[in-house]
A and B are shown apart, each in its own frame.
Chain A
Amino acid sequence: MKTRRQVLGAAVTLPVLAQTHQHAPEPAGLYSPKVFSPGELDLIRDIAETIIPRTDTPGAADARVHLSIDRHYSVDNRTLAEFRQGLRLVQTSVRRGRSMTDILNDLEGHPFFQLVKDLTIDGYYSSREGLAQELGWKGYTPVAEFKGCTHKEHQD
């Protein structure tokens, strides 16, 4: 809901960290893609999974980040043209047989890389897999008492 933002660099905007989430994926099957073709969605899934891969915890594909990116563009298409242009760039390299890791390494610093990385971070770290399972977030839960910092070594 809050849209307080601060521009920190040429292409980097850090939303205020307490903002709520508009782009979280929902359980599989509830959301049908509205923007991208199946081929585009496969490519987006591969890119996102390369940015945040499955390790001992779920990755971007497990969190259906490609669907959250589709959802994002279904309500806000301001950067869609730029995003699609980037997808074509990646697709060309994929056809030449390059690995996604190599492609993204070459793209670091490219506006598309930051764009798809930001959207992947938004989707993954607002999903149950990314936020609760990976990071261990426990918030938005009523509790009787707030103890705060209880570490002796942190006290005055």
Chain B
Amino acid sequence: MQAVTYDVVVIGSGAAGGMAAWNLSRQGVNVLLLDAGTRFNPASYWSHVKPWEWNARLDRGQRPPAFRLDPREQPIELAQPFDLWRVWGRGGRTNIWGRVSLRYGDVDFEGPAKDGWEVAWPIRYMDIAPYYDKVDQLIGVSGGADDSDVLPGSRYHLPPPAPRCGEQLLKKAASSIGIRMVAGRRAVLTRPHNGRAACHYCGACGRGCDIAAFFNSSDYLIQPALKTGRVKVIDNAVVARVLTGDDGRANGVQYFDRYTKAERQVKARTVVVAAGAIDSTRILLNSKSSRHPNGIGNANDVIGRYLCEQIRFHMYGFLPQLLGSAVTNDDGITGEHVYLPRFNHRSPRQYLRGFGMQLWGCGAQANANYAKLMDGFGASFKTAVKKRYPALVALHPYGEVLPYRDNRVTVEGTANDQYGVPVARIEFKIGENERKMAAEMYDTAEAILRAAKAEVLPYRRGTVDMPGAAIHEHGTCRMGADPKRSALNGFCQMHEVPNVFVMDGSAFPTATEKNPTLTILALAWRASDYLAGQLKSRTL
């Protein structure tokens, strides 16, 4: 039997892979989508399960969907601590993503070109703006009417949810010291959109949305793509390598069945790699051949390097106006309803790039973990905890980590996974630039809480979360104009191997301080438009 050659084999079903499959198939391209897991069943989500019901269910032998991949199944090696989140299954991490949907502006795209730190982005806002517009309309993003150089606006936002009391008061306090907060932007449907039901504010987005009122790649992209009849999905396909011919071009993909561990190969005219930055990089570096001894497309030792993420910490306080006030249901769309955009670029700093601030966790939560940081015990302690419960506010600054050559993913000398394929090893450290930025992040959070006259919970200045905790990995297969210093062009196409595209966060030359998924979707839409054109014109 003659093996089928697919126009495009897409590796990964998250934001980038889902977008590629959807956009290519609707343009007449035949797509094979390789998914390391299977489709999650929304009816099985524990969306509305109260905290005290959780263990009763476990006792009855029930389990919530296991979104997060157990690292024992697919290990990684770590030179330093790194909190890697992976979701194998249809939609990948979009099933449980934070949904924050911020446009990058030219402050972001021009940053490296202006300050000279590593390669410049090969695109500018004008290149991607039409795609942001299309993505906003397709997935539905709630947000305000604000528009600025650091956070370009959108004509297509759904109405933003009203701020909670604590957020409203922090916004006022920040404004009193000259810091502007705007409506948060989230891919949550605050009204019915494209035939989907609106959010019902149940507050448990992180457990998966049983009505798909926030974007996930499975329901919004892959299910519609399957209806074209031009997409085939292979479940439980754990990709090991992109295969190449004697000419050095990709001609297929090797994968292993997740459970039987049987090796399989499929033939491809072009390949889209979209397994998330760390796993895409593992696949590319393992794709060695005589033409690509350092991994496919990696003659210049760029792939795997320049891993960038974000620094982040959390500061909590209680607002005096809200102490002992009536408790309300503060769940909303979960996550913050206001956002503090980057502002530090307006005057010189002793460090490069910037930070923004999210405010998730203001108001009544499904726990009282802050009580662990309060002194004492007994009846007076219990009263003090209750009094503070409605008054909790939270600040979470996110700052960019610069791309450093030695922050990297490698597969050399690592152990093999259960399929006999070398696993990824991560090396990641922050540097002086990040420490200087973190100092201003702390200054700013302190200043806002001071202006709000908040009682601040104890914290240790200078500490940041474990790297990886922001779940924003970038840079290990970056785009750029110079083929010697970058792996991809501005259309996510490999300089060295034109029939391989890498469309996930690894394509980003910088991490920025923003959440990347909206930009991944927009870039993947743009790149897959370009790919469809190349296929139609038989350039590829």
Contacts and interface: CB of A to CB of B under 8 A. Distances in A.
Contacts of B485: none
Given A16-B314, A24-B55, A146-B333, A139 B169 contact: no
A24 B379 contact: no
Task: Classify chain B: how many residues form its interface, as a range.
Answer: 35 or more
A24 B372 contact: no
Contacts of B201: 142-143, 145-146
A73 to B, nearest CB: 14
A21 interface: yes
Interface string A52-71: 11010001000000001001
Contacts, number: 225
A130 B369 CA distance: 12
B450 interface: no
A71 to B, nearest CB: 6
A141 B83 CA distance: 31
B389 A135 contact: yes
Interface stretch (A36-44, A82-90, A120-128): A120-128
A138 B365 CA distance: 9
B113 interface: no
B234 interface: no
B426 interface: no
Nearest to A147: B162
A76 interface: no
A134 B458 contact: no
A122 B460 CA distance: 22
B154 to A, nearest CB: 21
A149 interface: yes
Contacts of A126: 51-52, 54, 366-367
Given A14-B316, A26-B52, A140 B366 contact: yes
A154 B331 contact: no
Nearest to B208: A1
B55 A23 contact: yes
B206 interface: yes
Contacts of A96: none
Interface stretch (B247-255, B321-329, B407-415, B499-507): B321-329
A147 B124 CA distance: 38
A56 to B, nearest CB: 10
B200 A18 contact: no
Interface residues of A, number: 71
B422 interface: no
Contacts of A128: 50, 52
Contacts of A5: 465-466
Which among A52, A71, A156 has the greatest number of chain B C-beta atoms within 10 A? A52
Which among A5, A7, A121 has the greatest number of chain B C-beta atoms within 10 A? A121
A51 B51 contact: no
The majority secondary structure among interface residues of chain A is loop
Nearest to A137: B364
A4 B98 CA distance: 13
B200 A136 contact: no
B460 A8 contact: yes
Contact of A155 (B168, B379, B457): B168
Contacts of B457: 8, 14
B459 A8 contact: yes
A138 B200 contact: no
A31 B364 CA distance: 28
A27 B57 CA distance: 11
Interface string B169-195: 101100100000000000000000000
Interface in B341-381: 360-361, 364-373, 375-379, 381
Nearest to B172: A156
B162 A148 contact: yes
B330 A139 contact: yes
Contacts of B383: 55
A139 B364 contact: yes
A101 to B, nearest CB: 7
Contact of A26 (B59, B203, B206): B59
A151 B167 CA distance: 12
B307 interface: no
A147 to B, nearest CB: 6
A15 B361 CA distance: 12
Nearest to A136: B327
A30 interface: yes
B119 interface: no
Nearest to A119: B372
Contacts of B519: none
B276 interface: no
B79 interface: no
A12 B375 CA distance: 12
Given A1-B207, A8-B459, A14-B316, A27 B368 contact: no
B334 interface: yes
A91 interface: no
A79 to B, nearest CB: 14
B202 interface: yes
B165 interface: yes
A1 B68 contact: yes
B463 A140 contact: no
B54 A22 contact: yes
A17 B369 contact: yes
A141 to B, nearest CB: 6
Contacts of B465: 4-6
Given A1-B64, A137-B366, 5 more contacts: A19-B367, A30-B56, A127-B51, A138-B364, A148-B164
Give the 9 A-B CB pairs with smallest separation, nearest first: A148-B162, A21-B51, A26-B56, A136-B327, A125-B368, A142-B200, A126-B51, A138-B329, A149-B165
21 contacts: A1-B64, A1-B67, A8-B373, A14-B373, A17-B370, A18-B366, A19-B369, A50-B377, A55-B382, A108-B375, A108-B377, A118-B372, A121-B368, A134-B386, A137-B365, A139-B203, A140-B331, A141-B329, A143-B329, A146-B331, A154-B168
